[in-house]
Structure 1
Amino acid sequence: MLTFLFSAVFCAAYLSPSISHVEGTAFTEQEMSHYRDRIKSMFYHAYNSYLENAYPYDELRPLTCDGQDTWGSFSLTLIDALDTLLILGNHTEFQRVATLLQDTVDFDTDVNASVFETNIRVVGGLLSAHLLSKRAGMEVEEGWPCSGPLLRLAEDAARKLLPAFQTPTGMPYGTVNLLRGVNPSETPVTCTAGVGTFILEFSSLSRLTGDPVFENVARKALRALWRTRSDIGLVGNHIDVITSKWVAQDAGIGAGVDSYFEYLVKGAIMLQDEELLAMFHEFDKSIKNYTKFDDWYLWVQMHKGTVSMPVFQSLEAFWPGLQSLIGDISSATKTFHNYYSVWRQFGGLPEFYSIPQGYTVDKREGYPLRPELIESALYLYKATGDPTFMQLGRDAVESIDKISRVN
């Protein structure tokens, strides 16, 4: 997550010229250069600290200056950081890390891994690195991009996830053992996002390797989930992948659901797929009809549409960016400013924010460096050129450096 934060903010600062014909105050080139340098410094402080204190573990624990494995012992920070290294222009380190991962990462391990997290972070990270490797100056195999060591690693990781999809519905279990498959005692209950967040990585794998199995299982899971929507067009939060019965019936756009909608839109764009886009547009109508209030999105009962939780969750902050991708700039901007007002109130987004009370929800006050609002700001800035969205990037740099830096 931290590397995505740096990538999103740096992309906006690096790729965007000074603009003065729109609302807000344009950033001067001197200011842009200042924040580019700040972001680079912040990234390398975190990255070098990981290398010095935590490698080969997945993550650095900054207070104790040691490492821990969190998602399967894959040196995950290195996989997360590869695209950021390229964005920062560090081709030498990209090449070193890509080669190191080829030599050290092994998925034949007796580890219980999250199917969702392994896909978006490991498979997705390796695929991105593979597709960027030529741009980073690496020698590529004959037949690239349909061949290459990072692609083979991504394929190996994805094949370890396939047993999770062997259910009567085609919807995957949430956890799989990379060596033994699905544990017989594994719960069949998983979140909506854990079912519907595979089409980007798995379709890419199928197109690059020529093996349709990955895209087929991802599409089957999406279609199975689509068939479970309620009469008013909503989906819940957790579902039984064996019976297709909803276990948690709160409907919203936040935690447990969020990336399902994200992947419908981004999958439709990447694959030029009308089916995925049509699914999203149908959901979007119901979401606006039943969950949208004053440009906030609440949680409602999926069958009745009655409000169950009048809260804003930080994971919902991807939504304005998603709206911008389908051209709904007006709605996206209004919702973004609601979310940005919460950021300005606290210097970050709390996990849960009570909309009626205008304050955090007890025991959900923390901000675990989620990048969603920054991603939305990037998309909206690129869509409108309004420097107001760049101001969120500036605020993010200042906040993250202040509240998260450990020297």
Structure 2
Amino acid sequence: MISNRKGRSLTTILFLLITAYLFLVWLPLSRLHAWQHKHPKPVPAATIFLPDTIHLNAATERFPVTSYIPLPTSPSAIPQIQHNFPPESRAERKGRIKKQNAVKEAFMHSWNGYKDHAWLRDEVSPQTGGYQDSFSGWGATLVDSLDALIIMGLDDELDLAIEALDQIDFTTTRSAQVNVFEIIIRYMGGFLAAHDLTNGKHPIFLKKAAELGDMIFNAFDTHNRMPQMRWDWSKSAQGEEIEPSERTSLAELGSLTVEFTRLSQLTGDLKYFDAVQRITNELERGQSKSKIPGLWPVFVNAKDLKFDWSQFSLGGSADSTYEYLPKEHILLGAQTDQYRHMYEKAIEAIKKKLLFRAMTKDEDKQFLFTSNVRGLKGGSLHGIEYVQDHLKCFLGGTVGLASKIFNRTEDLSIARGLTDGCIWAYDSMPTGIMPETMTVSPCKEMEKCPWDEGKWYEDVLGQPIHSMGHLERAQEQVEYDGLPPGVVGISDPTYKLRPEAIESIFIMYRITGDKTLQDAAWRIFQRIDKVTRTKYGHSAIEDVRNPLSKMSDKMESFWLAETLKYLYLIFSEPGYISLDEYVLSTEAHPFKRPAGPV
């Protein structure tokens, strides 16, 4: 009986093996291919528009341009940006790839959540599995992530994304207004970078970028060719006049150059470059006429082309205009000095008026930040606030980049201090994650700054400490607000999955080759991944002081397009997406630099 059972078992095993072999060998390749490319759930029915939906097709221009500003055509030499990295050891390579794979796994976790629950919508809700359409409902996360899929070698996922692109119709949206800035940096940037990274292999990328460009170009059809940044697109569709706002964000107005320039370079259509170059010319004109000459106020009057607002900052609503000065210089092949001159005026004003050192217990390191101020006529300052927004963390990378391409070697230490300041802000929090907005205690001097606990308490309290009661109140405030030494207030304790600190770490690592920056990036990634991971992705959190913070069920597209992409590149071989070959947009989209003298 026992031997008979063994015989039957052997026969069964052989039968199963032969069946499996034949099944796999003769399975039609088309069906196997389909299995490998399992499609996500169908687009929700809510995305289908009714027949009477307004579409913006061939709108008639009210204020047409008769002659376009030409692109520069002969690139000049730009100094080398990247550090000459030595060969890595086998152990270093193994450790680096392990970290890179951990970042890639986090990316796939969030991408799969989006793919399975919010395909062709703008964002997945990472806790509940729902979706949000925050940017006109054209699939922001999908398009914003195209180049990340390419960079990480996720070919099957890229194929799925490409198949879906024809379903995006840029001529209509359920949104009453179109946020021109966000649409250009997320969508157009995603298409153009995907085109450049694949050397034009997939024509649909440039086709969709041009479709979007033709649509969004209508927002520039105003009396002075300044765009209506919160565009009432249905008016344009129905032939009605639009006008720019008297209160336009500086960042929105001044941060379209890189994407529009690259679109003109690739299509040969000069209207895009012309549109942004007109904005640059107005910014250049107004740069010396503001209340802090060299800087622009956070808001500008785009309707009347006035720059007389009083609020100055490098944070939200201003940041990327400054970021794009050296980047546009690079993308134009250094064929014009306009952006160099604008940057130099800006950085000198920043150093004189905004830059400060934070007082911390680590007295040997210069942690640098920039303040928010109100400018008075004549250049004097009022209402200085030593506030650090997470959005300001872009500045270290920007100053570092500019220090190389403009031969401003004296600014490289400032770039490092700004980057280290943001790393310190991360390391200071209980979760190891920097808050959205915090106020720090400023040093009296830049070069020498001993720790002074009494001064810190005074800054927390906002007044001199003359009694034990004052001191106790300050100590109670520190405990109640969860303030680490050197921090005097946390007005917004949220973390929105932002990339700016990691962006500067990436750029400074590529410039200096300092591996402690890689260590900082790994430390930050582990903390973010641990605290923000959810069932369907990663979520913004409400309080970085609480390791068990409540989540906001929000995952913006820049988590995949920027934060995780920068982390992945930090742990890539340093020649991959080299800063000497690509310009990375404010949304971390790599555009190929024009070939020129070396």
Query: What TM-score results when the alignment is normalised by the length of structure 2?
Result: 0.59
State the Cα deviation string for residues 206-262 of structure 1 (Å, max 9, x = none): 111111111011011111122223263221011121112347422121111110011
- Deviation at 1:153? 1.1
Query: 2:344 pairs with 278, 281, 287, which one?
Result: 281
**Contact 1:173–1:189 under 8 Å retained in 2:** no
Matches within 5 A, 1:71-82: 71-82=135-146
Note the C-alpha offset of 1:342. 0.4
Which range moved further: 243-252 or 85-94? Answer: 243-252
Structure 1 residues 163 and 302: CA distance shift in structure 2, 3 A = farther
Change (3 A) 1:250 1:18: farther
Q: What is the CA deviation profile of residues 29-67 of structure 1, one whole-angstrom value per residue up to 9, with x for unaligned ones?
A: 332122112111101110001111111211011122111
Asked if 1:133 is matched to 2:216, the reply is no
Q: Structure 1 residue 360: deviation in Å?
A: 7.0
- After superposition, the C-alpha distances for 1:82-135 in whole angstroms (9 at most, x for unaligned) are 11111111123223312321x111011143210100110111111111222348
State the distance in 2 between where 1:317 and 1:305 align. 25
Which position in structure 2 is the counterpart of 1:339?
422
Relative distance call for 1:183 and 1:92 in structure 2 (3 A) is farther
Equivalent residue, structure 1, for 2:305: 244
Instruction: Report what 1:302 is aligned to.
Output: 375
Contact kept in structure 2, 1:160 and 1:178, CA below 8 Å? no
For residue 354 of structure 1, what is the aligned residue in structure 2? 439
Q: 1:69 Cα deviation (Å)?
A: 0.6
Q: Which of 161, 169, 173 is 2:228 aligned to?
A: 173
Q: Does 1:189 align with 2:247?
A: yes
Q: Which has the higher contact order (CA 8 A, sep 6+)?
A: 2
Letter in 2 for 1:223: N
Please name the residue that 2:394 is paired with: 318
1:5 equivalent in structure 2 = none
Does structure 2 retain, via aligned residues, the 8 Å contact 1:171–1:224?
Answer: no
1:401 aligns with 2:474: no
**CA distance, structure 1, for counterparts of residue 531 and residue 231 of structure 2:** 35
From 121, 130, 134, the equivalent of 2:186 is: 121
Residue 373 of structure 1 aligns with an amino acid whose one-letter code is: A
Deviation at 1:362, TM superposition (A): 4.9
Aligned partners of 2:181 and 2:252 also within 8 Å: yes
Larger Cα Rg: Structure 1 or Structure 2?
2
C-alpha distance in 1 between matches for 2:533 and 2:91: 25
User: How big is the alpha-carbon RMSD for the aligned residues of Structure 1 and Structure 2?
Assistant: 2.4
1:149 matched residue in structure 2 = 204
Q: Show structure 2 runs of 5+ residues with no match.
A: 1-83, 358-367, 404-410, 442-459, 461-485, 536-598
Aligned pair count reads 377
C-alpha spacing 1:299/1:209, structure 2 compared with 1 (3 Å): same
**Whole-Å Cα distance in 1 between the matches of residues 514 and 373 of structure 2?**
33
Does structure 2 conserve the Cα–Cα contact (< 8 Å) formed by 1:170 and 1:224? Answer: no
One-letter code aligned to 1:340: I
Residue 50 (str. 1) matches residue 114 (str. 2):
yes
Q: Deviations over 1:148-186 (max 9, x none)?
A: 322121112122222322344433222124454388598
Deviations 1:258-302 (A, max 9, x none): 100111110001112321121111111111111112232111223
The gaps in structure 1 that reach 5 residues or longer are 1-14, 21-25, 141-147
Aligned counterpart, 1:223: 281
Which structure features the higher share of helix residues? 1
CA distance in 2, matches of 1:234, 1:289: 11
> Who is 1:145 aligned against?
none
Identity of aligned residues (%): 28
Q: Distance in 1 between matches of 2:280 and 2:399?
A: 20
Matched-pair contact (CA < 8 Å) for 1:18–1:29: no
Distance 1:51 1:178 in 2: 29
Determine if contact 2:245/2:302 at 8 Å carries over to the other structure: no
Q: Is the 8 A contact 1:315 1:372 kept in 2?
A: yes
**TM-score, structure 1 length as denominator?**
0.86
Displacement of 1:191 after TM fit?
0.4
Q: Which amino acid aligns with 1:31?
A: G
SS at match of 1:300: strand
Q: Cα 1:308–1:163, aligned 2, differ >3 Å: closer, same or farther?
A: farther
Do residues 383 (structure 1) and 511 (structure 2) align?
yes
In structure 2, what is the Cα distance between the partners aligned to 1:60 and 1:159? 28
Instruction: Give the distance between the partners of 2:135 and 2:271, measured in 1 at CA.
Output: 24
Residue number among 236, 251, 257 corresponding to 2:318 in the alignment: 257
Question: Could you tell me how far apart the structure 1 residues matched to 2:393 and 2:244 are?
Answer: 31
